[in-house]
Amino acid sequence: MANEQQSAKMWSGRFREPLDPEFEKWQRSILFDFRLLPQETRASRAHAATLCAAGVLSAAETATICAGLDAVARRYAGARVEDALAEYPSAEDIHHLVELALTAEIGPLALKLHTGRSRNEQIATDLRLYVREEIARVQAALLDWAGALLAKAQEVGDAVMPSYTHMQRAEPVMVAHWLHAYVEMLLRDHTRLEDCCARLNRCPLGSGAVAGATLALDREIAARELEFDAPTANSMDATSDRDFALEYAQALTFVGLHASRFAEEMALFSSQEYGFIDLPERFSTGSSAMPQKKNPDLVELVRGRVGRIYGAAAALTLAIKGQPLAYNKDMQETQEPCFAVSGTGGMIALLAGFTRALSFRTERMRSAAETGYLNAMAAATYLVGKGVAFRVAHEKVGNAVRYALGKGMELGELSLEELRQFGAEFAEDFYGAVELMATVDCHDVVGGTARGRVKAALAAAHEEIARRKQCLCEARGAMETSDASA
């Protein structure tokens, strides 16, 4: 039995004894790389087309192999790895499993498919295809969440809230301005993933084990079939490169970072101490002990699960950092971190649903923005308009704030006589300058919270999201067309 299992290996020809049973179980990757079956069968179809062009396979043989690969893909679509291993217990990785299943499907012809290629280039290709598909999913989810934030920003209209620096109230801002800040973060995240995808979009097929294929293969064929921009330029780099996986995980750390910042604000602002937000019940849970509780479980879990993304990026860095060229078995350890972050798109989709269900206590937010001297900056700006140097204006308003604190009054509640003890420049028009909407509108610069600027920024963001969605749809359509024609 041991000899039978050994002879089933893809590499067993020069070996005289079987693997240690415990080592064999420990080193197998099929338990996690089984999820690459769609990518493996697709890449194998592309390699078959390349072999056909090189005269290694006839057109009839190529058609038979491709039909067999399609049958294998259909057979295991949605299946568990345990089901596949029940049929092929000796399969050590996804490449071996597909070869065994294809052989069962079409016979010995399946063994010709491995001509001119190595598992080193296969996994490099499969993983690039997988990461590229995951990037598209996350990008779509990011745009959906950005759209939900934008819709909520438009829904709240001219509602105002406090902004914070050092966790202390700073200046009034439009609620829409605050939400738009997250839209900008997500658009940057989208761009990082776009950049990552552009760099990974080179096809390793034809690189062989390390030095390049030993047949005169037209590598452009596989690249074209798999929607890559071009073949990789160096075989040693192609088979040992996992920069794209690390860059993908690192780009997702920014996604996680921004999701976590949003989650933190949701947890804070929904607390009774802030009271700015009503938590959507369908994204919250209660307490088994305290009947009154409504807990922000979704956003708390987001904060926690972001650690997985950071952990994946660190694991990839450590797996790659000490490896000499070219392929080493350590590379197997770069797969699971890529799979570990596969839930990122789903997490972002949940945040989009959470955002759509949010309701704001705008009166509470407005009240918080109208108290605590958040109009002090506007007051200093008022004095600057009267010809006072800003440093002097800052001092005068600071003195007025200290006086108002002692009186338990806001700046706008002080009499003109009281204000003039701090500066003769104060006049009746001061009160209009420090009203809530005036303090908002005085920030009338690109990127500022003035109502007109926010309206323009939201319109620009709407156009940008629509443009990026269209680009994603076109890319997806092109890929689906290519798959159908194949």
Three-class SS of residue 166?
coil
Cβ distance 214 to 117 under 8 Å? Answer: no
* Residue 253 neighbours by CB under 8 Å, 6+ apart: 309, 310, 313
Residue that has been written with the tokens 């399946």 in this structure: 110
Catalytic residue, chosen from 7, 58, 271, 287, is 287
Catalytic residue, chosen from 166, 288, 415, 485, is 166
Measuring CA to CA, how many Å separate 338 from each of 97, 258, 309, 316?
A: 21, 20, 9, 9
Percentage helix, strand, coil for the chain under 3-state DSSP, each rounded to 5: 70, 5, 25
As a whole number of Å, the end-to-end CA separation of the chain is: 40
Q: What is the DSSP string of 53-64?
A: HTTSS-HHHHHH
Cα–Cα distance, 399 to 445 (Å, whole number): 28
Beta strand residue intervals within 235-370, DSSP E:
277-278, 359-360
Cβ distance 81 to 257 under 8 Å? Answer: no
Reply yes or no on whether 462 is catalytic.
no
Cβ neighbours around 403 below 10 Å, total = 16
Say if strands 230-231 and 160-165 run parallel, antiparallel, or are unpaired. Answer: unpaired
Angle between helical axes of 119-155 and 344-357 (0-180°, round to 10): 10
Reply yes or no on whether 58 is catalytic.
no
Residue that has been written with the tokens 């679509």 in this structure: 77
Say if strands 230-231 and 202-203 run parallel, antiparallel, or are unpaired. Answer: parallel
Active site residues: 166, 287
